[in-house]
Structure 1
Amino acid sequence: MSTIACDTPSQAIENTRSTLDEPAWRAVCEAAAEEAIKGCGLSHDYYVERFSLAIDRQVDQLPEYQRAQALQIAQEWDYTTPAERQETQNWNAKNGYCTHGIELGYCPAGCDSDY
């Protein structure tokens, strides 16, 4: 929103809160998704980790009041919170999967290559 001038002092003089530029934010998300997918080895868990970390860095640059909306939009590309990512990592560790979300012994990055 832009500045709104009022005629009377009893009304708000201006509204300085701007709305999230959704097209620009979607472009940020798209670029982050493209970069994340390049290095994920087709592992969805690793893609989500890479994408979500990139979004976390970007969202920190937004005003606090725009962050919830930005993160909601990022969910269209499978953004998850740090707590959700930790939950996935815990599940993977308990169930024989590496940090990339691939069964131990099969990860092309060599995770648990002695398996």
Structure 2
Amino acid sequence: MSTIVCNTPSQPTGDTCSTFDESAWQAVCNAAATQASAGCGSSHDHYVNLFSSAIDAQIDQLPEHQRAQALEIAKEEWDYATPAERQETRDWNTDNGYCSHGLDPDCCPAGCGEY
């Protein structure tokens, strides 16, 4: 997966980026979305969990003042969900008889309905 790097001649390693590189962030999101899509088994809930977890792992590489903008882009374009939103979805799935992937356990390709 791509990473955001602030390492240019005008921005030496270790300095914080003063401007948000939206195209670099979109490349990170695209890579995370591609990987999540490949591993989600066509479950949107599972895709959101995989994608959002990957974004959570990358967001700390950005300066704090750029994180809100980055998460907004991930949310608008790729369905990023916060950890609290993901927990709410997991709780709803559990309360309504769905597996952790958001599917009927007996139809889940991951075998959630098998004993």
Q: TM-score, normalising length from structure 1?
A: 0.83
CA 63–37 in structure 1, closer or farther in 2 if over 3 Å, else same = same
Cα drift, residue 111 of structure 1: 0.7
Is there any run of 5+ residues in structure 1 with no aligned partner, and where?
A: 4-15
Identical positions, percent: 66
User: Number of matched residues?
Assistant: 101
Kept in 1, the 8 Å contact 2:17–2:63? The answer is no
User: Which amino acid letter does the alignment assign opposite residue 88 of structure 2?
Assistant: E
Determine which structure has greater relative contact order: mean sequence separation of CA pairs < 8 Å that are 6+ residues apart, divided by chain length: 2
Cα drift, residue 112 of structure 1: 2.8
Offset from partner CA, 1:64-98 (integer Å, 9 cap, x none)? 11100000000110000000000000000000100
User: Which one has the bigger helix percentage?
Assistant: 2
Root-mean-square deviation (Å): 1.6
Alignment correspondent of 1:100: 101
User: Which runs of structure 2 are paired with 1:16-95 in the superposition (5 Å)?
Assistant: 18-75=18-75, 76-95=77-96
User: Which amino acid letter does the alignment assign opposite residue 67 of structure 2?
Assistant: R
Cα drift, residue 17 of structure 1: 5.8
